[in-house]
Amino acid sequence: MASESPPGPEQRLAALARLPHFAGLERGLVERVAACTRPRTLRAGEAVFQAGEACEGFFVVLAGAVKLYRLSPEGREQVVHRVGPGRSFAEAALFNIGRYPVHAAAAATPTELLLVEGTSFLALFRGEPRLAQGMVGSLCQRLLTLVGRVEELSLTSAAARLAHHLLRLPARGSGERLAVELAGPKKDLAAELSMTPETLSRLLRRFTERGLLEGRGRRLVLRDPDALTAIAEGAETPPA
């Protein structure tokens, strides 16, 4: 399968340069980061690492997607985060505790990752203050994202959480025809929004019946963003 060949050095370099952490760095420096990386290719469902494992380094997603999750003792999985192309994860494990705090598994086939090897990257980091600058900025960005997630989960009604989430998806089009696409299977979305798949399904139907939404499967069109905003902010869903 020639189409699944591992990414060449050029590809790695380009991916790293686009990463918020390293944006704006001179090429030579990015090359030195690239020298710390190893590619890894996975199929959907394959584990990247297990919670508790010693940290080898952090990862950059080149293609596909990775989900980070916890496993409750009964086996129910709670998705903490979903990481798409051009994003990285597990920096905190590297810089802080030395162990991965959650499970990570590929959520698409194929998923191409870059492992930024911990030991050599840390050595590089210590000698290059400019690396720090970008890392701090992008970790802060991550923090803000998580704060957003906390807010989302704090919304008490499931309808509000869903509306909030839909509005934050990257959208195409404008006005009353915002086309969005769900990132993964609906059961994952349900877990992410802390509700059951059944509830998600019913809510989507209700939104559709009221003309707020249109479409089937993962491709949706938001017909009435204002109404969705109102729902996200806690307004009661009108009885009609």
Partner DNA sequence: CGGTGCGTTGACATTTCTCAACTGTTGTGG
Partner DNA sequence: CCACAACAGTTGAGAAATGTCAACGCACCG
Number of residues in contact with DNA under rule CB under 7 A: 21
157: contact with DNA by CB under 7 A: yes
Q: Is the dihedral of CA 204, 208, 209, 212 positive or negative?
A: positive
123 binds, among a copy of itself, DNA, none (CB under 5 to 8 A by kind): none
Kindly write out the interface string for residues 208-237 of this chain, putting x where it contacts DNA by CB under 7 A and - elsewhere.
----------------------------xx
CB of 141 to DNA, least distance (A): 29
199: contact with DNA by CB under 7 A: yes
Kindly write out the interface string for residues 140-179 of this chain, putting x where it contacts a copy of itself by CB under 8 A and - elsewhere.
xxxxx-xx-xxx-xx-x-----------------------
Q: How far apart are CA 106 and CA 67, in angstroms?
A: 6
| Residue 45 neighbours by CB distance under 10 Å | 11
CB of 11 to a copy of itself, least distance (A): 27
- Phi, psi dihedral angles at 8 (to 5 degrees): -75, 170
Residue position matching structure tokens 């903490």? 80
Which of 104/231 has CB closer to DNA? 231
**CA nearest neighbour of 114 among 83, 144, 151, 150:** 83
24: contact with a copy of itself by CB under 8 A: no
CB of 10 to a copy of itself, least distance (A): 28
Ramachandran region, residue 64 (left: φ > 0; alpha: ψ -120 to 50; beta: rest): left
**Maximum C-alpha span of the chain:** 64
**Which residues from 97-156 bind DNA, rule CB under 7 A?**
156
Which residue in the set 29, 139, 169, 171 belongs to the binding site for a copy of itself (CB under 8 A)? 139
Which residue in the set 43, 70, 168, 177 belongs to the binding site for a copy of itself (CB under 8 A)? 70
Report cis status (omega within 30 of 0) of the bond before 110: yes
123: contact with a copy of itself by CB under 8 A: no
- Phi, psi dihedral angles at 107 (to 5 degrees): -120, 10
18 binds, among DNA, a copy of itself, none (CB under 5 to 8 A by kind): none
201: contact with a copy of itself by CB under 8 A: no
Long-range contacts of 214-221 (CB under 8 A, 24+ apart): 215/179, 218/181, 218/182, 218/186, 219/179, 219/180, 219/181, 219/182, 220/166, 220/179, 220/180, 220/181, 220/182, 221/173, 221/177, 221/178, 221/179, 221/180
Residues that bind a copy of itself (CB under 8 A): 70, 72-74, 76, 78, 80-81, 91-92, 95-97, 101-102, 126, 129, 132-133, 135-137, 139-144, 146-147, 149-151, 153-154, 156, 194, 233-234
